[in-house]
Structure 1
């Protein structure tokens, strides 16, 4: 029987600000213990932990560094108890500004590799570090954060979208490996969110255009996407694994 949210200990990577912070707040609201991972956003992470109270801590680690991730998970286990749930949200620095994006004429492989290292290698390192805890508990939850640009590359952010597509594939293959341990692995794929640090560079006209094309008539917020993450972590999703749920107000199909 999968434990309820208020009995989970959750690691959220890249949780110092933006969507990650919204996800951390959502879990804390439901009574979970939350580890707020950050790489450079120390002040924002500490402020969030203070806001969330005694059941939240900050843990610094670069998710592309396997040793740092292992040390981080050990610290979480010591301070909050064995982690039960991973939300891999960390994103290499990115700005969603279509006018300033790298085109195929200017794009370098290193830009794709940089995004993929955070998205896929970060997920791999975190899963490997948490696997012993999953095995000991006989259960666990992994939720990765994707993008609806994989399904609908309306703005060709080549490096970012390629990395998220690779993460979606890794989510599916990881579900097969972790299933025998009682662990589900799923992805929540968001659209443009209003507003995060990454989407702050997006012109208002683009937000308005997307809102007009979306069945719900508005651009999805970080808080709305965070609630979908809670679903995959909850007992209600115990028979769902290897799936990608697009949460963008119905703009594109999964």
Structure 2
């Protein structure tokens, strides 16, 4: 299915990588659901940039299955067709600051559970809510957002890194089940991005280190990762599923 014929749900799309991804799909001609949880004003700004004729902002807590079911119903009614593509991007209450991260003597299972619920749990909710429509179409594109810290945990954010490692396992498992229905499931894993709300707490010295050690000589932007997400929804990726593509300028070579 061409991008212009797709209806794309981007979770956590009011800011950062989510906003860049929503706009990239909008530029490609897709219809876009800008999901948000708290910041309706920023979500509406993203809609305005895409165009209100092709985008809508819908609130949902991705951790809540009922919220996702309602969002899917609203989107189907608004666009007159099922959701074809999901980008599981939402990040639950996390700041990338290695100095303040919880280490082994302080971290608790609740910290792990929060991140697992926000990545694996949220992805389960979106897939269950939208699968019926994709199965009817015999077409679907699922793109999960991961991290290069799974391959190289240079900063051991124990809870976050573990949740994304689990999401990679889920990506591959779901690719196996959903493939016969024409649904592909892939992951795009960026590094620290220049610069988002989540990375705002990261000291400038860390960005300098990444720049010095990255083959392309700079820190990757949200827009550059978003372009790869769009690729996984495009016809060019139709034979690719169960894969994890690291997009960090070559810092991690997997």
Q: TM exceeds 0.5?
A: yes
In the other structure, the counterpart of 2:146 is 146
Is residue 2:42 matched to residue 1:44? Answer: yes
Q: For 1:11, what is the secondary structure of its paired residue? A: strand
Structure 2 residues not aligned, in runs of 5+: none
Q: Deviations over 1:181-213 (max 9, x none)?
A: 000000000000000100001111100110110
Is residue 2:103 matched to residue 1:103? Answer: yes
Offset at 1:226? 0.2
Where do 1:55-66 residues align within 5 Å?
55-66=54-65
Structure 1 residues not aligned, in runs of 5+: none
Pairwise CA RMSD: 0.6
In the other structure, the counterpart of 1:77 is 76
Is residue 2:251 matched to residue 1:251? Answer: yes
Residue of 21, 24, 27 corresponding to 1:29: 27
Offset at 1:154? 0.2
Offset at 1:46? 1.1
Aligned residues: 252
Q: Deviations over 1:211-231 (max 9, x none)?
A: 110000000100000000011
Moved >4 Å (runs of 4+):
none
Offset at 1:114? 0.3
In the other structure, the counterpart of 2:91 is 91
Structure-1 separation of matches of 2:9 and 2:165: 22
Q: Deviations over 1:43-82 (max 9, x none)?
A: 1101111121120100100011011101101111110231
Where do 1:201-240 residues align within 5 Å?
201-240=201-240
Offset at 1:134? 0.7
Normalising by structure 2, what TM-score? 0.98
